[in-house]
Amino acid sequence: MAYELEPKLDGKVALVTGGSRGIGAAIARKLADLGAFTFICGRNAAELKTTAATISESGGRCEGIAGDVSDLAQVEGLARTIRERAGSIDVLVNNAGVGGFGVPLHQLDPAKWDKILNTNLRGVFYTVRAFAPGMIEKRAGDIINISSLAGKNPLPNGAAYAASKWGLNGLSYAIAEELRQYNIRVTVVCPGSVNTELSPHEGKDPRKMLQAEDVAHVVEMLVTQQPRSFVSEVLLRPTQKP
């Protein structure tokens, strides 16, 4: 007799920021496939609606809520909406990100610096501030911050982006120590170049590059590991250099 296994995240609630496309959409699909009621947020309401509908049509539970993680009031509103509809979340994936490449730092427009840092770093502060208290009350949860190998290595002509990711790595390690006493696991995932629209990939073979689904697979491994353990950091590279 064959038995159907219960989805590993059945009854759980997840939020993926920057979830309308690319890496975020792939992660949202994976979490929904695992049984989580998955919320996605982003600035483009139309894209959110399309992605959420696609996931729902495949049998998952997904809802899109428009919002900008660099705006504290919008993040707090997002948290209130999710609490009203599903309760406190169990999985937070901070994926929303803004790229910035092509010019040396001394030529970078300060407004561009603000946009990159406010989304990639300040936005994570805002979401953790808004959602960690609910996890603390439950004494359980997973926070996964999508960083980059640019947060481990020099990135000429992308200094602001690199600074945001180096900062995100340090933030992740610090809050991991703050929250582990509540059984909340915090992990930072640092992929190499992924075949998405975020950054230029001139001269690279997209068939050899990481795909969004590869990052989603890592997230799956993280949220389904044994409760007594957690992975602090994942460095993800393609098997062959593209």
Cα within 13 Å of Cα(229), Cβ side: 7
Q: What is the DSSP letter of 242?
A: -
Per DSSP, helices labelled H in 88-208 are 110-117, 123-138, 159-179
Cα separation, 145 vs 230, in Å, equals: 14
CB 175 within 8 A of CB 75: no
Q: What is the DSSP letter of 105?
A: G
List, in order, residues 6 or more apart from 109 with CB less than 8 Å away: none
Structure tokens at 109: 């427009």
CB 102 within 8 A of CB 50: no
Choice among 3, 126, 161, 173 that is catalytic: 161
Residue type at position 78: L
Told to judge if 126 belongs to the known catalytic residues of this protein, a careful annotator would answer no
- Return the axis-axis angle of helices 159-179 and 123-138, rounded to nearest 10°: 20
Cα separation, 221 vs 172, in Å, equals: 18
List, in order, residues 6 or more apart from 93 with CB less than 8 Å away: 14, 15, 16, 17, 19, 24, 27, 31, 144, 146, 219
Catalytic residue numbers read: 161
